[in-house]
């Protein structure tokens, strides 16, 4: 039998490796930024075009590379970080496997310019699909500049899997945030399609968080600091009242490397137990320092997952450190739950003595003294004598009075007509009785048997079609707020709101002012509670960034779905009889009552025959 196993060509092997290392433009951003940090750069610029599909360029002022190193950097498994297998457990750098540049060069057009400080000139290398096109001397400043153009140009199938520019840009910014937060001692700048998005100067950790997420973030942070032999914890957690519906602002850094850990996330969440509203998640920016020999960072291609030697100890230390900080800064409730803070003595009254009130008595006052002898007679209040009950009947007809009252001319005031909150009340009176089960399902009878409706999904369908209609005909009604709401968001969230501003106004929102960090809302759609406005906008931003449900849908459709999801009646909400019946009638007035906006079943029917079979 002929041999069937053969070695892969280098360019194919590099493309396969690229599939592990480079999933999207954000993966290139991560690798290039980490290389710049390993080069001891103090200033790093990231330039992207078309969310990184056309160009990803990273410019740093690091130590640069020699001519030989510049050429070897594009070879697979060529690295300056490790010499033996034991070095894998003593790593203090970001990249170490020597696959990043080789993988990127296999699927893109790469141009590298680099110069060391003591050299007069630098070197430039151009590579297209692992093939070196040119290498020559060039005049360039100290440091390294790597330009990655036309990502996945030779693998069109992979390029087709990329999402829209909005989603890919969000992933790029996420990677930028992770690297920038881990290294506040380095200045970072991000330029998107020619405009400056971020310019982060060298600062401390708290200032770096505020510079990225907005000035309002400063008042939301609670410091966490714990130093033990096993683990050193520093950073900040968000106050419980600022918890969000999404998990966006959750960052763990182990030895200055961003990681994802559901186990450690559970430790932080358990520290917030009893302080968060249902369905919300705390924000945290925590740096953990451990001995490199106690962790293994080589278990995942993107190095975002780490294996710890003693996870249980880390869990306990992290949970207690966060809980201690929340209690230390009076975030957690005190033992005296009934204490009223309004009864606390203000600081400026703390050392003051109490003033004894003076009592003055009119010793000449005599309640038995006659009125004409009283000096206060002129101002005394004289109570009119109350007439006897007989006087109430004075003027009524006597026995001999023959006057009769003609009641035919008496007109009764008609009862005031109040508008009903439900439409077609007459139809509601004729519908069958409905019942609510576990505050989740509405049960109604039909001719063939029984109807069971999921109240949350049904209301989503009703609101979705209403919002879609309002945005299409652009005639939505709005209720004005007595006091405008000022809501604060990060810079990239504000950009999304600006993109959706016109569609939001067609649903009934009215914006009076939109700045770089805040949005002022002075009108909301009818029926939207004021307290829900920030939740609706946060959910909408999250849906747009993650392209829920899909990029094939229009922005209007996505907006209607997101708002319907936020405002729909929740599972567990009790409904009155007329509300239940109104929900049923409105659902079957929809164009597609069978499914929710996310294509989930809204109701099921069960015939009498099916019920009979249950009792056989």
pLDDT at 431: 45
Pick from 176, 200, 224: which residue ends a domain? 200
Tokens of 597: 């906006």
Is residue 424 very low, low, confident or very high in pLDDT (cuts 50, 70, 90)?
A: very low
CA torsion angle 34 36 42 48 (round to 10): -90
- 75-97: pLDDT as tens digits: 776 665 555 555 555 555 665 45
Does residue 411 form part of some domain? no
The residue among 319 and 525 whose pLDDT is bigger is 319
Phi, psi of 501, deg, nearest 5: -55, -45
The residue among 436 and 83 whose pLDDT is bigger is 436
pLDDT at 259: 87
Range 470-475 average pLDDT: 72
Does residue 239 form part of some domain? yes
191: left (phi over 0), alpha (psi -120 to 50) or beta: beta
Residue ranges of alpha helices (H) inside 3-132 are 10-21, 25-38, 67-72, 100-106
pLDDT at 170 over 90: no
Q: Which residue has the tokens 């009638």?
A: 585
Range 168-193 average pLDDT: 92
Does residue 342 form part of some domain? no
Q: Is the N-terminal amide bond of 260 cis, ω within 30° of 0?
A: no
CA atoms within 13 A on the CB side of 281: 13
Is residue 565 very low, low, confident or very high in pLDDT (cuts 50, 70, 90)?
A: confident
Range 575-604 average pLDDT: 88
Burial 169-203 (b: 16+ CB within 10 A, else e): bbbbbbbbbbbbbbbbebbbbbbbeeeebbebeee
pLDDT at 551: 46
Question: In angstroms, rounded to a whole number, what is the distance separating the alpha carbons of residues 81 and 60?
Answer: 19
Residues 146, 235 within the same domain: no
Residues 242, 153 within the same domain: no
Question: In angstroms, rounded to a whole number, what is the distance separating the alpha carbons of residues 88 and 95?
Answer: 11
CA torsion angle 472 474 476 479 (round to 10): 140
**Measuring CA to CA, which residue among 99, 78, 81 is closest to residue 90?**
81
The residue among 163 and 306 whose pLDDT is bigger is 163
- Number of domain units in the chain: 3
pLDDT at 403: 53
Which residue segment(s) compose the domain that 479 sits in?
Answer: 434-605
Residues 195, 218 within the same domain: no
- 227-250: pLDDT as tens digits: 888 889 999 999 888 888 777 788
Does residue 415 form part of some domain? no
pLDDT at 288 over 50: yes
Residues 255, 303 within the same domain: yes
pLDDT at 342: 65
pLDDT at 87: 53
pLDDT at 552 over 50: no
pLDDT at 429: 43
Range 289-299 average pLDDT: 76
pLDDT at 204: 92
Does residue 354 form part of some domain? no
pLDDT at 191: 93
Range 552-573 average pLDDT: 76
Question: What mean pLDDT value characterizes the chain?
Answer: 80
**Measuring CA to CA, which residue among 236, 263, 230 is closest to residue 249?**
236
Residues 173, 223 within the same domain: no
Per-residue DSSP letter, 246: S
Residues 63, 86 within the same domain: yes
Does residue 398 form part of some domain? no
Task: Write the CATH number for 74.
Answer: 3.30.565.10
pLDDT at 149 over 90: yes
pLDDT at 556 over 80: no
Coil/strand/helix, residue 452: strand
pLDDT at 506: 79
Residues 245, 119 within the same domain: no
Range 541-549 average pLDDT: 69
Contact yes or no for 319/270 (Cβ under 8 A): yes
Q: What is the value of pTM for the model shown?
A: 0.69
The residue among 541 and 10 whose pLDDT is bigger is 541
Residues 252, 121 within the same domain: no
**Measuring CA to CA, which residue among 246, 253, 254, 183 is closest to residue 212?**
183
pLDDT at 333: 56
Task: Write the CATH number for 311.
Answer: 3.30.230.10
Contact yes or no for 575/536 (Cβ under 8 A): no
pLDDT at 5 over 90: no
Pick the range with the lowest mean pLDDT from 76-85, 461-470, 487-496.
Answer: 76-85
Pick from 328, 345, 379: which residue ends a domain? 328
pLDDT at 428: 39
Report strand pairing: 284-289 vs 250-254. Answer: parallel
pLDDT at 509: 86
Residues 196, 230 within the same domain: no
Does residue 98 form part of some domain? yes
Does residue 318 form part of some domain? yes
Residues 568, 481 within the same domain: yes
Residues 496, 564 within the same domain: yes
Is residue 110 very low, low, confident or very high in pLDDT (cuts 50, 70, 90)?
A: very high
pLDDT at 430 over 50: no
Tokens of 533: 């406005």
Range 281-304 average pLDDT: 78
Residues 182, 229 within the same domain: no
Pick from 328, 346, 362: which residue ends a domain? 328
Contact yes or no for 104/24 (Cβ under 8 A): no
Question: In angstroms, rounded to a whole number, what is the distance separating the alpha carbons of residues 249 and 546?
Answer: 15
Coil/strand/helix, residue 174: helix
Tokens of 320: 């207690």
């Amino acid at each position: 039998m002929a041999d069937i196993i053969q070695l892969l060509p280098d360019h194919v092997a590099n493309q396969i490796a690229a599939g592990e290392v480079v999933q999207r433009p954000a993966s290139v951003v991560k690798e290039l930024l980490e290389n710049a940090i390993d080069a001891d750069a103090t200033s790093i610029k990231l330039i992207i075009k078309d969310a990184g599909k056309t160009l990803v360029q990273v410019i740093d002022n690091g130590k640069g590379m020699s001519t030989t190193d510049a050429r070897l950097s594009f070879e697979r498994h060529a690295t300056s970080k490790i010499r033996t297998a034991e070095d894998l457990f003593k790593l203090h750098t970001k990249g170490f496997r020597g696959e990043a540049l080789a993988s990127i060069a296999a699927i893109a057009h790469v141009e590298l310019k680099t110069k060391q400080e003591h050299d007069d000139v630098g070197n430039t290398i151009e590579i297209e699909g692992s093939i070196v096109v040119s290498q020559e001397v060039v005049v360039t400043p100290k440091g390294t500049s790597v330009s990655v153009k036309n990502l996945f140009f030779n693998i069109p199938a992979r390029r087709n899997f990329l999402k829209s520019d909005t989603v890919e840009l969000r992933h790029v910014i996420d990677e930028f945030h992770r690297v920038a937060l881990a290294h506040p001692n380095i200045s970072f700048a991000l330029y998107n399609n020619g405009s400056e998005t971020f310019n982060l100067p060298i600062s401390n950790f708290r200032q770096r968080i505020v510079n990225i997420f907005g000035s309002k973030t400063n008042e939301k942070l609670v410091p966490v600091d714990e130093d033990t032999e096993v683990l050193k914890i520093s950073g900040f957690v968000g106050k419980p009242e600022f918890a969000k519906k999404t998990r966006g602002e959750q960052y763990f850094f182990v030895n200055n490397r961003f990681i994802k850990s559901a186990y450690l996330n559970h430790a932080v969440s358990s520290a917030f137990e009893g302080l968060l509203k249902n369905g919300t998640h705390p924000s945290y920016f925590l740096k953990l320092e451990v001995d490199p020999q106690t962790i293994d960072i080589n278990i995942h291609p993107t190095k975002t997952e780490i294996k710890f030697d003693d996870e249980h100890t880390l869990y306990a230390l992290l949970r207690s450190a966060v809980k201690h900080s929340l209690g230390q800064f009076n975030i957690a409730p005190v033992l005296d739950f009934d204490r009223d803070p309004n009864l606390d003595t203000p600081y400026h009254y703390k050392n003051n003595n109490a003033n004894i009130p003076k009592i003055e008595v009119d010793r000449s006052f005599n309640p038995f003294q006659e009125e004409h002898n009283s000096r206060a007679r002129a101002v005394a209040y004289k109570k009119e004598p109350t007439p006897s009950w007989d006087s109430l009947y004075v003027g009524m007809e006597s026995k001999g009075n023959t006057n009769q009252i003609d009641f035919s001319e008496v007109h009764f005031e008609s009862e005031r007509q109040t508008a009903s909150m439900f439409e077609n009340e007459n139809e509601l009176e004729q519908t069958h009785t409905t019942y609510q089960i576990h505050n989740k399902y509405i049960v109604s009878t039909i001719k063939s048997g029984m109807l069971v409706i999921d109240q949350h999904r049904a209301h989503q369908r009703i609101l979705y079609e209403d919002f879609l209609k309002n945005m299409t005909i652009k005639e939505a009604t709005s209720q004005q707020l007595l006091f405008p709401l000022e809501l604060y968001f990060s810079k990239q969230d504000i950009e999304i709101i600006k993109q959706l501003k016109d569609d939001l106004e067609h649903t009934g929102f009215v914006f009076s002012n939109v700045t770089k960090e805040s949005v002022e809302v002075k009108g909301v759609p009818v029926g939207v509670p004021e307290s829900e406005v920030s939740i609706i906008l946060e959910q909408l931003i999250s849906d747009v960034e993650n392209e829920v449900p899909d990029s094939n849908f229009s922005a209007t459709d996505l907006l209607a779905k997101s708002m319907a999801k936020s405002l729909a009646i929740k599972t567990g909400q009790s409904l009155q009889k007329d509300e239940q019946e109104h929900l049923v009638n409105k659902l079957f007035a929809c164009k597609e009552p069978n499914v929710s906006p996310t294509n989930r079943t809204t109701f099921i029917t069960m015939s009498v025959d099916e019920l009979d079979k249950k009792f056989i």
